């Protein structure tokens, strides 16, 4: 029996205040950390980034060099804001999280990427909380009272379930308002999504043809202001990290 085809893994990128866990005030980041912004760009460049409408509005434009998938109950519907026809930057709107994953999966597979990134805001982190396998977390040591924030990220990382891949204390540089700590958490028992190989394509050229056809459907549909219908349902299983103890 052909093996299942693994879909891209979902990772989070989060910056929150410590200890109040604020990620936004009035739909904006309550600090400027150039060091963290440069790291964020390095991590996500060339990948799909998935975000909510408020996060997109706070950024104000598609992030260059990335496919920006925006989840919104009120998506934009004019041609110019639905797709940016450049070689490395695109903007796609969708109404449901499964449609968003479908778009992110196919585009990632077409670009030979093994993960895509959820980058905010609070509701998006909650929506994908059980599917995220890695978290790039920046703890910003900003003295902000919790009630000052209107968006929070409250996840605590139980080291029996998560392992630390990297940790770095970052002093405030000349373009950073506060010092911070950057940590990569990796889930020990990962949530893996897959589709059955025999149902859709086989190895080699047939697989590449299927991915290419799905990718073309997405681009053609988005160019007309539509979101293509998903062709499959996800199957899910848990995979234990061999290094977990």
Give residue-wise pLDDT tens across range 166-186: 999 999 999 999 999 999 999
| Structural tokens at position 207 | 């697989």
Judged by DSSP in three states, 113 sits in coil
Kindly state the percentage of the chain with pLDDT values over 90: 58
Separation CA 215–CA 89 (nearest Å): 15
Q: Which pLDDT does position 3 carry in this prediction?
A: 55
Instruction: Indicate the pairing of strand 90-94 with strand 115-118.
Output: unpaired
Q: Domain 4-240, CATH 3.40.430.10 — does that match?
A: yes
Sequence-distant (6+) residues with CB within 8 A of 87 are none
DSSP one-letter code for 127: H
> Which residues are within 8 A (CB) of 201 and not within 5 positions of it... i.e. 6 or more apart?
5, 207, 209, 210, 211
Closest CA to 98 of 133, 141, 142, 131: 131
Each domain of the chain, given as residue ranges in start order, spans 4-240
Model's pTM, two decimal places? 0.86
Report which of 219, 218, 226 is spatially closest to residue 78, judged by C-alpha positions: 226
Crossing angle of the two packed helices 97-110 and 205-223, in degrees rounded to 10: 130
Of 106, 88, 126, the C-alpha closest to 217 is 106
Q: How confident is the model at residue 194 (pLDDT cuts 50, 70, 90)?
A: confident
Q: How confident is the model at residue 245 (pLDDT cuts 50, 70, 90)?
A: very low
Quote the CA–CA distance of 180 and 191 in Å, as a whole number: 29
């Amino acid at each position: 029996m052909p093996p299942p085809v693994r879909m891209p893994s979902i990772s989070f990128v989060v910056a929150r205040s410590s200890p109040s866990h604020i990620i936004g005030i009035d739909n904006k980041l309550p600090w400027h950390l150039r060091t963290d912004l440069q790291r964020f760009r390095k991590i996500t460049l060339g990948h799909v980034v998935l975000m909510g409408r408020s996060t997109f509005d706070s950024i104000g434009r598609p992030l260059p060099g990335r496919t920006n998938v925006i989840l919104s109950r009120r998506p934009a519907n004019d041609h110019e804001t639905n797709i940016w026809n450049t070689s490395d930057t695109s903007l796609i709107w969708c109404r449901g999280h499964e449609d968003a994953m479908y778009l992110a999966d196919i585009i990632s597979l077409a670009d030979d990427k093994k993960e895509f990134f959820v980058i905010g805001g609070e509701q998006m982190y909650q929506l994908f909380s059980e599917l995220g396998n890695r978290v790039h977390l920046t703890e910003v040591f900003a003295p902000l009272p919790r009630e000052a924030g209107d968006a929070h990220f409250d996840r605590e990382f139980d080291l029996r379930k998560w392992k630390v891949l990297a940790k770095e204390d970052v002093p405030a540089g000349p373009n950073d308002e506060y010092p911070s700590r950057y940590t990569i958490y990796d889930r020990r028992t990962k949530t893996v999504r897959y589709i059955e190989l025999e149902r859709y394509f086989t190895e080699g050229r047939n697989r590449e043809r299927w991915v290419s056809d799905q990718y073309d459907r997405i681009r053609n549909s988005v160019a007309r202001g539509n979101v293509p219908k998903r062709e499959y349902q996800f199957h899910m299983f848990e995979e234990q990290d061999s290094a977990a103890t």
